[in-house]
Structure 1
């Protein structure tokens, strides 16, 4: 049993040397071609001071170079700490300090960082035959730390970092591959960012484990996606429900995906088969799978391999992966009977950041268990929002908006959106002396955009005279949502 991702990079070059491994629109690298390129990247990182156990921050779009840096880091026995390409420089620097990065590799570097192009210099690609794969021993690669550290908003309400060990990822996504029937002949379309748990684990690690090939998409253009699906020969398209909306819309406009796509693989807080299955049918995709997990659980807790065949009462019943436990509890923490809704708790080898000493992770998700042990997720019980598959911490967004001189107080809430899950609305109280003419929505959002990722920036600012608070002085988000609904309702009537 292979125990590390470093071993997997070697093993794929040995077992599937001539199979396509990864492509970003500029041509394929086979598994045998990828390995020497990754070793060259590892040498460049070592020259920059990276050794076993060190952390390397990587910020770039989904490209072949991204994968080469990831492989180079693993071959050194170091830890990868990727960050979404949309994050501003200030966030990258703060994140690098938090994880204790030895080196930062960036597509657009600043002083003191390593340029992605220099880490992956263009040169003739070796055939792979020059490397003696039989004598090379990947077990000699020491990996004293985790394979990857991923950033997450987290159910605790603040951005945190989650370390994921090599053996955990190998075991977990080996089981996921079996449950979803992913194999060597599959082509995975990588639209979701590799810096996200869905992208790193559900695409890159899955490809490494199975030998499936990966077609990366550096720039997401909904109009171009159907053509990419057809031309890449993708058999599996992975992404949030918003991606299926985009594909179905494009197909409705006359742009087909081709006959080869057999699976749309998705995951979100709440997957509604009654909403997704008509979209899949319109797009010509015969099967939709749903996964449930958090970054704190290395991305996966349970899987429903076919929501069309197994969906019940409007939700997808998911099978908990082997070695993992799930309970549903009431507000006092007591287990509820099958069918009753409550807060979801999970425990297992893949829980990287447990909440208590017994290893349980208290999630912010609401759900229920069927008598057969399958799990349905029905929504959120905390304030965290999900936008296009990304967790958004409203407190973090509020802190960014509150820096504006126009804003005295602000609350961020989510309005249901059929494509993205939620769209963000900032409900703001103007600063003293700012009249109606001086409430500069564009300036408020521009200032927030400088410190937030794109998906964290609200679509709209709604100005109100005051925000509601509880008797203990805490912001009442439930009341804010009701006020916003009334405001939007009145606005719609006026229109």
Structure 2
């Protein structure tokens, strides 16, 4: 059935109940009709517990059907839904549940949370499979990663209208930015849905009528096998996944047919130019990139051919967005001059839940600063340098760790790397590279000399690491983010 004219998941499921909605990590299959029936039951169950418009429900759930049901059930009865990282400690989970004022919590069987429902069975039991009355769009309230201080919920006003009324805007935006269209697509989930991008793309996929395939976890060969078997058309990934897949032997990569891929969207962390180019050499021009944050959403985006024409860019402002670069004095920087990135959108604003001071501190009037340093070229394409908090100043010169990391990642002996600035009495800071060697590589003086030699033609001398040390594993989140502040503090504590 052609679903291109239907406004989102709830309408598609009603009109085409036999359409395949979800292939779970265990291989089980759920149709749109079956998913909608469960979503309606859980919506009724939530209402029966006394939850009303604007209340908060939290889910401490692994990727799977329950996580999707909670997302879509809260999304049609005017509730805020807070996905919580189920890997967090008991105290960290308790902080988020208290801060968001969760009226009800649903947890997975593998994770005990005091007072929480286990799964969605009890909420759904005995409830009608028909749509609840007074339907209204809800919203997801994601908690930021909290690299500095405690995480905060990013809260947006509820639309106050039926969910079908907001879907056309989603569909238009995704079509403009990522060439995603309603129809018979297949979306692959590769990352935990408690993170904003994987969660949002799962929801978008269902509103477009796509089938959602859930990978049990990211493993390079397993993901390639899923792409081949299910003829995946679109996926959301992060650069560390590309790096790991490129490490596979050529004969392994050639076993899998990835020709079905049309859009592989990446975000969350900077992608080295060499890594992205190698992926496009392998998969073709299917890599779409966007830059934003939980607060700003998709602020910049670039399609494959535009990136190939300007390697390294994260794109131009997305529809409804404006951008400017401000220098240290707060003045707008000319093209090519780095400064702090600021964005604003006509789609509305956000606030940090219960923290007006933090909200105000992140804004400059209507403009929001994600905290990144970058510059716009003459045509308005943004090139990022690094996070403001990660900038290294050595001998009075600004050095961007991401640039050094990208150069080192081109060496086949490097599986991962974090570059940090370490205090030095003479220079202010020294550049230190913490390297995770590739499998089978022995770290030592010979490798250090080889890596420094590798930097020679790629980086100016003042950017070369003064020190290279080796680590068994660097701490990255499942979305590929590396907290350099945490790595730096651990390094300093060890000294």
TM-score w.r.t. the length of structure 2 is 0.70
Secondary structure of the 2:88 match is: coil
What is the deviation of 1:294? 0.6
Separation of aligned partners in 2, 1:270 and 1:455: 10
What is the deviation of 1:230? 1.5
What is residue 230 of structure 1 aligned with on the other side? 228
Alignment of 1:243-262 (within 5 A): 243-250=241-248, 252-255=250-253, 256-258=255-257, 259-262=259-262
Question: Does the alignment pair 1:116 with 2:113?
Answer: no
What is the deviation of 1:28? 2.5
Task: Verify the 8 A CA contact 1:147 1:166 in the aligned structure 2.
Answer: yes
Alignment of 1:174-189 (within 5 A): 174-183=172-181, 184-189=183-188
Alignment counterpart, residue 323 of structure 2, candidates 318, 323, 326: 326
Moved more, 90-99 or 52-61: 52-61
Moved more, 367-376 or 189-198: 367-376
Q: Which portions of structure 1, spanning 4 or more consecutive aligned residues, are displaced by more than 6 angstroms?
A: 120-123, 424-428, 453-457, 463-466
Deviations 1:151-179 (A, max 9, x none): 11368765221014565886356312332
What is residue 107 of structure 2 aligned with on the other side? 106
Alignment of 1:283-432 (within 5 A): 284-297=283-296, 299-306=297-304, 308-312=305-309, 314-348=311-345, 349-353=347-351, 355-356=362-363, 358-383=365-390, 416=405, 418=409, 423=418
Alignment of 1:151-162 (within 5 A): 151-153=143-145, 158-162=150-154
Secondary structure of the 2:298 match is: coil
Question: Does the alignment pair 1:71 with 2:72?
Answer: yes
Mark the runs of 5 or more structure 1 residues left unpaired by the alignment. Answer: 1-6, 386-412, 429-444, 467-495
Separation of aligned partners in 1, 2:142 and 2:338: 30
Mark the runs of 5 or more structure 2 residues left unpaired by the alignment. Answer: 1-6, 160-165, 352-358, 393-400, 424-471
Deviations 1:52-88 (A, max 9, x none): 3211111111111110111222233211000123222
What is the deviation of 1:289? 1.0
Separation of aligned partners in 1, 2:90 and 2:171: 32
What is the deviation of 1:147? 0.5
What is residue 19 of structure 1 aligned with on the other side? 19
What is the deviation of 1:331? 0.7
Moved more, 53-62 or 68-77: 68-77
Q: In the superposition, relative to structure 1, how do residues 185 and 8 fare at CA in structure 2: closer, same or farther (>3 Å)?
A: closer
Separation of aligned partners in 1, 2:75 and 2:52: 10
Q: In the superposition, relative to structure 1, how do residues 461 and 263 fare at CA in structure 2: closer, same or farther (>3 Å)?
A: same
Separation of aligned partners in 1, 2:174 and 2:321: 13
Task: Verify the 8 A CA contact 1:303 1:321 in the aligned structure 2.
Answer: yes
What is residue 273 of structure 2 aligned with on the other side? 273
Secondary structure of the 2:247 match is: helix
Q: In the superposition, relative to structure 1, how do residues 371 and 454 fare at CA in structure 2: closer, same or farther (>3 Å)?
A: closer
Q: In the superposition, relative to structure 1, how do residues 235 and 197 fare at CA in structure 2: closer, same or farther (>3 Å)?
A: same
Q: In the superposition, relative to structure 1, how do residues 460 and 235 fare at CA in structure 2: closer, same or farther (>3 Å)?
A: farther
What is the deviation of 1:14? 3.2
Task: Verify the 8 A CA contact 1:68 1:120 in the aligned structure 2.
Answer: no
What is the deviation of 1:221? 2.8
Number of residue pairs the alignment of both structures matches: 397
What is residue 218 of structure 2 aligned with on the other side? 220
Task: Verify the 8 A CA contact 1:155 1:363 in the aligned structure 2.
Answer: no
What is the deviation of 1:232? 2.3
What is the deviation of 1:383? 3.5
Separation of aligned partners in 2, 1:178 and 1:31: 26
What is the deviation of 1:40? 1.7
Alignment counterpart, residue 210 of structure 1, candidates 208, 211, 214: 208
Q: In the superposition, relative to structure 1, how do residues 330 and 339 fare at CA in structure 2: closer, same or farther (>3 Å)?
A: same
Task: Verify the 8 A CA contact 2:22 2:31 in the aligned structure 1.
Answer: yes
Q: In the superposition, relative to structure 1, how do residues 381 and 169 fare at CA in structure 2: closer, same or farther (>3 Å)?
A: farther
What is the deviation of 1:96? 0.4
Separation of aligned partners in 1, 2:117 and 2:210: 30
TM-score w.r.t. the length of structure 1 is 0.70
Secondary structure of the 1:75 match is: coil
What is the deviation of 1:240? 0.6
Q: In the superposition, relative to structure 1, how do residues 56 and 19 fare at CA in structure 2: closer, same or farther (>3 Å)?
A: same
What is residue 435 of structure 1 aligned with on the other side? none
Secondary structure of the 1:150 match is: coil
Q: In the superposition, relative to structure 1, how do residues 383 and 49 fare at CA in structure 2: closer, same or farther (>3 Å)?
A: farther
What is residue 394 of structure 1 aligned with on the other side? none
Q: In the superposition, relative to structure 1, how do residues 116 and 247 fare at CA in structure 2: closer, same or farther (>3 Å)?
A: same
Q: In the superposition, relative to structure 1, how do residues 377 and 47 fare at CA in structure 2: closer, same or farther (>3 Å)?
A: same
Separation of aligned partners in 2, 1:199 and 1:331: 34
Q: In the superposition, relative to structure 1, how do residues 50 and 352 fare at CA in structure 2: closer, same or farther (>3 Å)?
A: same
What is the deviation of 1:116? 1.5
Deviations 1:68-111 (A, max 9, x none): 11122223321100012322222111100000000111112333
What is the deviation of 1:122? 9.7
